[in-house]
Every structure is written in C-alpha cells, then in structure tokens.
C-alpha cells in the first residue's frame, strides 16, 4: 500500500477517536517537527519507528486524546452480595447492557450470597471487577491484590460518612471514645463499619483495649471486658432506640443515622459526644490481572453513568449519585487499620451479605 494512503488511514484512525472540537485544536497544535516527520515518512525518508514515536508523542502530551479500548475478550462483574438475587438482577442487567455497549465486549454479572465468593473470584480470575463495601474491598486488596478504582458518591455529595459516638443530651461524662470504656454500649452489629469496626477498632488500635488472641473468640472476650455491658442491636435504628430509652449510655453509628431513624423529639434526647472519622463509601475494585487498557476503558465507561443519559442505572443499583475515580490508598486510607486491629473479623465480614 502507498505510504501516503497508509498515513492517511493511520491519522484518520487516531482522529476518529477525538471529538470534533478537540480535532480542530489538535490539528492547530501539532508541532512542526511532527509534520516534517510525517511528510518525510510518507516519502520513504523516515523510518516507521520514528513515525510511530511521533504519533506516541502526540498522544503522550495529550494533543490527541485516545479513548482507551478494552483489550479483554470479556468481563465478569461482581455485585454486593444479597440474599435475594432476583431483586438485584434486573438492575445489574441494566448495567451489564450499558457496559457491553460502552466497551464493545461481552459482560457477565455475578451476584453471590457472600463476599468470599467475590474475593476468591478476583483472586483466581473468575471475576474481573466488583462493586463492594469498604471492608470487603480492603480484604480483597489484601488477599487478591485487587485495587480500588472508583468510589460511590452519596446523595449529600460526600464519599464518606462520619462514625459517631452518640450519648444522651444530658450526659456530661462521655466526651471521647475512651470515655465509653466501662459503660453500657450498643453497637449496630459486629460487622458494622461505623457501628463497630471504627469505634472498637479505634480503641484497640490506639492501645486502650488489648485483644489477647488472634481469633474472633479473643475479640469477643475483649469486647466483654471493655464495657459494663454491650449489645449488638442489629442496626442503626435499634441501637439508637436503646439510647433514647435510657437502656444504654452510648450508641455507635453514623452521623446521619438519627435524621434517618428518629423523630425530631427523639433527636432532641441525644447528642453527638464525638466523631471518630470517616467511613468510606462503596467501592469498585478491579483484579490485579486486568490490563491497564481494560481498566481505563472500564473506568471511563463507569464515569459515563454520572451523566443524565445513564445516571438512572447507577441510582437504581445502589442509590449512588455518581462514581469518582480514586485509589485504594486515597479512599480506604486508615480505615483498613481498624479492620486489621480486630482479629477474626475478616471472616465474619466475608460471610456477611451486606457490610453496612
């Protein structure tokens, strides 16, 4: 094939992937030396290698933006485990169809009944990417090398909520997490992020409580020893109800839980003694074997869910407003330290259906 014709095809192929406005900008900003290289290559005076280097320069300096293309033959996406998969399946299938159109490859969905299935799938190549809660996402990172690439943006525009120590409004004795020791407390559940992991993990990680052992039995013994009495109430609402009724001195949970579960009158009975820090939102993780091209293509496709044309798919799935590109370190950060401080908890999280 004549090199001039081939050059035209190559440049056309690159420019097809660039929006019209960007194409005009790219043409006017191409350095003169690249134009000379292209002309010389077309005449046969410049090697193929030099011409390719010139094109790579245009892409590397973002004069030309090339939309990443997935080079995987197919993808399998895992979802947060639920007991009744049939309730989530239609919503997951809407995302499946969208991703197939956006990526141009077949996409399968996997809705297991526990997180262990997802993590083992990521580890052994049966699952390529997954929506997960923070705790399982951290465990997947540790066990399989999976990386967080996106975080859920909540309805208030935040990517985290605050773990909070709630007490009765007339309580002046409890002003810190350490002050809860020896008191009657209500956790949400043993796998609750703000309702157990962050508060008790803080006490252990900061040296206020010792866990003498490396399993969940030792963890339970440490909890029993640390407080006058404790209960795993079963959720935000139940834990707060025990505090409102005066049956406990402390309820652990999120900063927005009272607004969601208590009446205005009940909210007036309690107050926040202190906040402990952020609990990160849901994440999207990818396996450590996914190629950079496929990872970038998947992230770009998921960003498309933030726009009005497809945002209903994301909202219907988990109620998120948007997905924000991020990393394991940036999003999960020190929260993983609190999980690591609680022996035996990882397996409980893997067995659980929804880590909230």
Mean pLDDT, rounded, for 12-16: 41
pLDDT number for residue 52: 65
Are 314 and 43 in contact by the 8 Å Cβ rule? The answer is: no
In the predicted model, is pLDDT for residue 237 greater than 60? yes
pLDDT number for residue 244: 98
In the predicted model, is pLDDT for residue 105 greater than 60? yes
pLDDT number for residue 23: 42
Confidence grade of residue 116 (pLDDT, cut at 50, 70, 90): confident
Q: Which residues pair with 283 in a beta bridge?
A: 132, 151
Q: Which domains does the chain have, with CATH numbers?
A: 3-58 (no CATH), 75-153+286-351 (3.40.190.10), 160-280 (3.40.190.10)
Least confident segment among 36-50, 231-245, 287-301, 313-327: 36-50
Closest by CA position to 203, among listed 238, 227, 184, 186: 227
Alpha carbon distance 240, 234 (integer Å) = 11
3-state secondary structure the chain: CCHHHHHHHHHHHHHHCCCHHHHHHHHHHCCHHHHHHHHHHHCCCCCHHHHHHHHHHHHHCCCCCCCCCCCCCCEEEECCCCCCHHHHHHHHHHHHHHHHHHHCCCEEEECCCCHHHHHHHHHHCCCCEEEECHHHHHHHHHHHCCEEEEEEECCCCCCEEEEEEEEECCCCCCCCCHHHCCCEEEECCCCCHHHHHHHHHHHHHCCCCCCCCCCHHHHHHHHHHHCCEEEECCCHHHHHHHHHCCCCCEEEEECCHHHHHCCHHHHCCEEEEEEEEEEECCEEEECCCCCHHHHHHHHHHHHHHHCCCCHHHHHHHHCCCEEEECCHHHHCCCHHHHHHCCCCHHHHHHHCCCCC
Least confident segment among 132-136, 150-154, 201-205: 132-136
In the predicted model, is pLDDT for residue 47 greater than 80? no
Mean pLDDT, rounded, for 215-238: 94
Mean pLDDT, rounded, for 239-245: 97
Confidence grade of residue 309 (pLDDT, cut at 50, 70, 90): very high
Structure tokens at 68: 């990443």
Are 185 and 123 in contact by the 8 Å Cβ rule? The answer is: no
In the predicted model, is pLDDT for residue 294 greater than 60? yes
> What is the radius of gyration, based on Cα positions, of the chain?
26
Query: What rounded mean pLDDT belongs to the chain?
Result: 84
Judge if pTM exceeds 0.85: no
Least confident segment among 9-23, 84-98, 324-338: 9-23
User: In terms of pLDDT, which residue wins out, 209 or 56?
Assistant: 209
Structure tokens at 214: 């490396």
pLDDT number for residue 154: 82
In the predicted model, is pLDDT for residue 59 greater than 60? no
pLDDT number for residue 121: 95
In the predicted model, is pLDDT for residue 6 greater than 50? no
User: In terms of pLDDT, which residue wins out, 354 or 200?
Assistant: 200
Closest by CA position to 353, among listed 105, 44, 114: 114
Confidence grade of residue 45 (pLDDT, cut at 50, 70, 90): low
In the predicted model, is pLDDT for residue 351 greater than 90? no
In the predicted model, is pLDDT for residue 349 greater than 80? no
Mean pLDDT, rounded, for 174-181: 97
Least confident segment among 156-160, 207-211, 268-272: 156-160
In the predicted model, is pLDDT for residue 242 greater than 60? yes
Confidence grade of residue 342 (pLDDT, cut at 50, 70, 90): very high
Mean pLDDT, rounded, for 127-132: 96
């Amino acid at each position: 094939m004549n090199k001039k014709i081939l050059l035209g095809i190559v440049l056309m192929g690159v420019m097809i992937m660039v929006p019209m406005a960007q194409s005009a900008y790219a043409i006017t900003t191409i350095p003169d030396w690249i134009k000379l290289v292209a002309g010389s290559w077309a005449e046969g005076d410049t090697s193929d290698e030099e011409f390719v280097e010139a094109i790579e320069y245009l892409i590397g300096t973002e004069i030309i933006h090339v939309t990443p293309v997935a080079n995987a033959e197919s993808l399998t996406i895992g979802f947060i485990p639920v007991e009744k998969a049939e309730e989530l399946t239609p919503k997951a299938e809407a995302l499946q169809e969208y991703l197939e159109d956006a990526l141009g490859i077949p996409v399968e969905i996997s809705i297991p009944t526990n997180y262990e299935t997802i993590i083992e799938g990521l580890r052994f190549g049966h699952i390529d990417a997954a929506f997960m809660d923070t705790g399982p996402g951290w465990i997947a990172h540790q066990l399989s090398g999976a990386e967080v690439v996106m975080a859920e943006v909540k309805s208030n525009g935040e990517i985290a909520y605050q773990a909070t120590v709630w007490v009765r409004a007339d309580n002046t004795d409890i002003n810190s997490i350490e002050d809860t020791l020896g008191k009657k407390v209500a956790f949400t559940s043993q796998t609750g992020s703000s309702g157990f992991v962050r508060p008790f993990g803080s006490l252990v990680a900061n040296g206020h409580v010792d866990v003498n052992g490396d399993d969940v039995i030792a963890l339970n013994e440490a909890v029993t020893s640390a407080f006058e009495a404790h209960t795993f109430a079963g959720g935000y609402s139940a834990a707060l109800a025990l505090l409102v009724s005066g049956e406990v001195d402390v309820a652990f949970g999120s900063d927005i839980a009272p607004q969601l579960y208590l009446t205005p009158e009940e909210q007036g009975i309690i107050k926040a003694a202190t906040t402990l820090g952020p609990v990160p939102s849901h994440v999207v993780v990818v396996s450590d074997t996914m190629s950079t091209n496929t990872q970038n293509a998947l992230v770009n496709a998921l960003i498309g869910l933030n726009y009005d044309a497809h945002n209903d798919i994301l909202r219907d799935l988990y109620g998120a407003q948007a997905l924000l590109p991020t990393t394991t370190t940036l999003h999960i950060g020190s929260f993983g330290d609190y999980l690591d401080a609680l022996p035996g908890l990882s397996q409980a999280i893997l067995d659980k259906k929804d880590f909230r």
